[in-house]
Amino acid sequence: MEFGVNPKNIVILISGGGSNMTAIVEASRVARWREKHGAHVVAVMSNKADAGGLAWARAQGLATVALDHKAFPAREAFDAAMMAQIDIFEPALVVLAGFMRIVTPAFVEHYAGRLINIHPSLLPAFTGLNTHQRAIDAGCKFAGCTVHRVTSELDHGEILDQAVVPVLPGDTAELLAERVLTQEHRIFPRVVERLITA
């Protein structure tokens, strides 16, 4: 294990309400990751100080950090500041759970093998944004979500797990998003637990 890495520490990055973060934290408690594996979420970080997920995390007694990306002159400077904060917690795993920032190659390289993300489509289809509307517009019969390793190429890392949901007649992007999100909450904690026990 490289210097500065605790084999069981997990840091989660969010930008909003943090429902996937919540799902991971709650799954860790129900499945008793700390008792069984010595693993636990040690911190939740966000690029938005008013992210709802930070308040929830604080209420759970988790360490929280907010760094406003708008306060930095460039993406590289923001990512460097994020890395400095993340590294305090010596994470074995850095989890992007609705973190709405494209990270720099330096960030990806720094956490190589320790950085995962969830994307609301069945990758490699529909990388990027507006995935649900694009799936509907393309006439897809199925949609879903993917947990993958993060690489410098957007939404192209190794696929770790996927879940499929039907696209129903009359679906809107919002309805489809809700159906996909329920599956995100199921598979994301499952992948995290698998990785920290591997």
Catalytic annotation, residues: 119
What DSSP assignment string belongs to 47-92? S-TT-HHHHHHHHTT-EEEE--GGGSSSHHHHHHHHHHHHHTT--S
Q: What are phi and psi of 185, to 5 degrees?
A: -65, -20
Asked if residues 124 and 154 have their Cβ atoms less than 8 Å apart, the reply is no
Strand 63-66 and strand 93-96: the pairing is unpaired
Cβ burial of 53 (10 Å; 0-12, 13-18, 19+) is buried
* Structural contact between residues 123 and 148, judged by C-beta atoms closer than 8 angstroms: yes
The conformation of residue 170, written as its DSSP 8-state character, comes to T
The answer to whether the CB of 127 falls within 8 A of the CB of 121 is yes
**DSSP state, 15?**
S
